[in-house]
Amino acid sequence: MNFELLAQLTIAGIVLGSFYALLGVSFGLVYQTSKIFHLANAIPFAAGGYGAVWSAEVLHLPLFVALAFGLLMAVVFGLLILFLGYFPVMRRNGALLSLFLVSLGITVAFPNLLQIVFGTENIPLRTYNSEGELSSAFDNRVFSSGFLTITLIDVLKIIVSWVLIIAVVVFVKRTRSGRSITALRTNPTMATAVGIDRKRVYILVFALGSFLAGVAGLFVTAEFVASPVMALQWTIVGFIAVFFGGIGSLVGTAFGGLVLGLLSSLSSLYLPVNYSPIVVFASLFIILLIRPQGLFGKASV
C-alpha cells in the first residue's frame, strides 16, 4: 500500500467530492421539490462564469464585485428558465417529461448562444489592476507539505461548498420559507391545502439552486476558464449525487456527492484512471441492488 498516494488521492477525492456535493445540492433542491429533471442547471453554472468574466473585463469591476455579479447572473438566468420555460408548461398542465424537454431545449441552445455572443475561445478570469491593465484575477497558490499538495482554489472549494451546503440545510430546516420547501416536497397536496404558495416555493428553490450552480461555475472559471461548454459535463454529476445519496434529503445528497468524488478518485489507486467511471457506475448499480433508497436515504414505506 502506497500511503502517500492514498493520502493525495484522498485529498483529491475530497476536493472533487465537495464540488459534487455542491452540484448535488444545487440540483437536489430543484429536483426534490419540482421533480423536474433540470438539465438546464448548466445555464446558471455558465451564466455565473461568463457573468464574472464579462463584468470584470467590460464593466471594469473589481474581482469580488465581478464574482457577485456572476452570482447575480446565475440567479437571474435560473429564474428566467423557470419563468419563460417551466411555468408556461406547468400552467398548461404539462407532464414532467414535457418539462424535461423544455430543459433539454434550453441546454442545447444556450452554449451555442454563448458561442455566438462570446466566441469559441476559452476566456480566463481577468480584472483590471491599479494601473488599468487586464491581468489574471486569481493567483492559484499551492500549499505543500512533503509529498502532499493542495491549491488555494481547492481549499476554497472545500470550505465554500460545505459552508453553503450547511447554510442551505439550516435554512431549509429552520426558517419558515425553508420549511415550506420540505412541506411541498413531502406532501404537495397537504402543503397547498395549508396555503403554501407553490409558485413562491419554486422561485425560492430555483433561486437557491441557481445560486449554488453559479458558485460552481465561478470555481471552474477562476481555476481554469469560462467556455461555452463549461457546464455540460457537470450537470449530470449533480443528478447522480442526488440519487446516490438518496432522493429525500439534502444532507444525504451532499454526502452522496462526497462519496462519489472519493470513489472516483480512490479507484485510480489500483486501476487506470479511465476505469474510474466504470467503477463509479458499477458501484452505483450495486448500491441500488442493496439499498434501493440510496446510500443515505430512508427506506420508503
Partner 1 sequence: MGYYAQIAINILILMSLAVSLNLLLGYAGRVSMAQAVLFGIGAFTAARLVLPKADASSAVAASGINYGLGWHWLPATVVAIGVTFVAALIISLPAIRLIKGEYLILLTLAFQLGGEQILSVWEGFTGGPFGVAGIPPLKIGDTSFSTLRESGTILYAGLMLVITIIVILISWGLGESPFGRLLKTIRGNETLLPSLGKNPIRPELLTFGITAAIAGGIGAFFAYSQGAMVPGNFSLDLSILVISVVVLGGTGNIAGTIVGAIILGGLEPILRQVLGDEGIPWQRVIYGAALVLMMIIRPAGLIPEGALTRIRKPKVAKSFDQNLNGAQGIQFGDFTNKRSSSPEENLSEVLVIEDIKKSFGGLSAVGGASFSLRKGQITALIGPNGAGKTTIFNMITGTLSCDSGSIKLRGRELTGMPTYEIERLGIARSFQDVRLNESMTVLDNVAVAVPNQPGEKIFNLILHPLKSRKAEKSVNQIALDCLAVLGVAQTAHELVRNLSYGDQKLVAIARLLATDCDVLLLDEPTSGVDPGSVNLVIEGVSKLRDLGKTVCLVEHSVHFVERLADHAIFLDQGVVIAEGTVAELVSSAELTELYFGN
Partner 2 sequence: MEINKLGKRAAALAIALSLTGLAACSSSSDTTSEESAAETSAAETASEAASEDTATEAGGTCINEIFGPGGEAAGEGVTLNGGMLLAMTGAGSFFGDVMSKGAQLAADQIREAGGMDYQITIADHNNGDVPTALTEVKRMISQDDIRVLQTSYGAPSEAIAPLIAEAPVLTLNGGGSSPGQLSKDFLWQNRMVFAEDPAAGALAWIHQQYPDAKTLALIGTQENGVGVFQETAPNAWAKLTGGEVVVAEQHNVGDTDFKGIASKIKSAGADAILSVSFGDDLGYQVKAVREAGIEVPFMGIEFTGQAASIAGSTYDTFNFATDFYNTENPNPWNQCFVEAYQAKYGEDPEYYGSNYYEQVFIFWDLVKRVIAAGGDPTDPTQLQDALIADPNFKSVYGGSDTVVGEVTLDTNDHSISKPMGVFSVSNGTPVLEQEIRKVSPADDPNSALVQ
Sole window of 69-77, 145-153, 154-162, 239-247 interacting with partner 1 (rule: CB under 8 A) = 239-247
DSSP 123: B
Sole window of 54-62, 84-92, 138-146, 189-197 interacting with partner 2 (rule: CB under 8 A) = 138-146
Chain centroid to CA 156 = 15
Sole window of 84-92, 170-178, 205-213, 228-236 interacting with partner 2 (rule: CB under 8 A) = 228-236
Separation of alpha carbons 183 and 170, rounded Å: 15
* Residue 149 sits in the site that holds partner 2 (CB under 8 A): yes
Binding to partner 1 (CB under 8 A): which residues in 114-133? Answer: 115-116
* Residue 9 sits in the site that holds partner 2 (CB under 8 A): yes
Separation of alpha carbons 120 and 226, rounded Å: 10
Separation of alpha carbons 67 and 48, rounded Å: 8
* Residue 134 sits in the site that holds partner 1 (CB under 8 A): no
Answer for the pair 209, 26: CB distance below 8 angstroms, yes or no.
Answer: yes
Which residues touch 161 (CB under 8 Å, ≥6 apart)? 18, 19, 21, 22, 215
218: closest CA among 44, 18, 39? 44
Separation of alpha carbons 136 and 45, rounded Å: 21
Query: Residue 94 binds which entry of partner 2, partner 1, none, with Cβ cut-offs from 5 to 8 Å by kind?
Result: partner 1
- Cα-based torsion angle of the residue sequence 257, 243, 220, 162 in order, rounded to the nearest 10 degrees: -40
Smallest gap, in angstroms, from Cβ of residue 207 to partner 1?
Answer: 21
* Residue 104 sits in the site that holds partner 1 (CB under 8 A): yes
Binding positions for partner 2, rule: CB under 8 A:
2, 4-5, 8-9, 12, 15-16, 111-112, 115, 120-124, 129, 131, 133-136, 140, 142, 144, 147, 149, 151, 220, 224-225, 227-229, 233, 265, 268, 272-274, 276-277
Binding positions for partner 1, rule: CB under 8 A:
37, 85, 88-89, 92-95, 97-102, 104-113, 115-116, 236, 239-240, 243, 247, 274-275, 277-278, 280-282, 284-285, 288-289, 292, 300-301
